[in-house]
Amino acid sequence: GPGLRATALILAANSLIADGQSDYVKQYLWTGDSSKYNGGAIKFDLDYVVEGYDSSTCDLWEEIRDPDFFWNRATMKKAMLVGASFADQMGDADSAATYTATMTEINSTLYSAHFNGDFVQECSARTR
């Protein structure tokens, strides 16, 4: 999903920047302008997570729909964490603050909603 893709693209973007290819990153991955490629592939995915992290999704096997799958939330939390750092690196303090706030929201229920004291459950809809 978008959280995993954003995290992977941030890793790639950091490698490109380290290799002197920051122009490519600024042209396609983080444009800083929502009218150009929706802000870039990374920003587009991170903003999608911000807007929809609590929307109903399906599990890996598409058997159950639920708004709160542990694995989805864990990947989205990671994306917000590295996304905030990357946004700062790209000079976008407003997006960094938004991603940090969203990560805090996701984190506030990550374990309380999924850990029952003995094990982590995927979601409340999965009873087996």
Q: What is the mean pLDDT for each group of 10 consecutive residues in the chain (128 residues)?
A: 95 98 96 88 96 77 73 91 97 97 90 71 66
| Cβ-contact 78, 11 below 8 angstroms | no
| Cβ-contact 105, 50 below 8 angstroms | no
Q: Which pTM was predicted?
A: 0.86
pLDDT at 27 (0 to 100):
94
What's the N-to-C CA distance of the chain in angstroms?
A: 25
Cα 47 from Cα 87, distance rounded (Å) = 11
pLDDT at 26 (0 to 100):
95
pLDDT at 127 (0 to 100):
56
Is 105 designated active site? no
Catalytic residue among 23, 33, 62, 88: 62
pLDDT at 62 (0 to 100):
67
pLDDT at 128 (0 to 100):
53
pLDDT at 99 (0 to 100):
98
Catalytic residue among 59, 66, 88, 105: 59
pLDDT at 78 (0 to 100):
97
pLDDT at 60 (0 to 100):
64
pLDDT at 43 (0 to 100):
97
| Cβ-contact 79, 45 below 8 angstroms | yes
Token look-up 């890996």 returns 60
Cα 116 from Cα 107, distance rounded (Å) = 16
Cα 14 from Cα 60, distance rounded (Å) = 29
Cα 115 from Cα 73, distance rounded (Å) = 13
Is 59 designated active site? yes
What separation in angstroms does the CA of 23 have from each of 10, 20, 27, 31, 68?
15, 8, 6, 10, 37
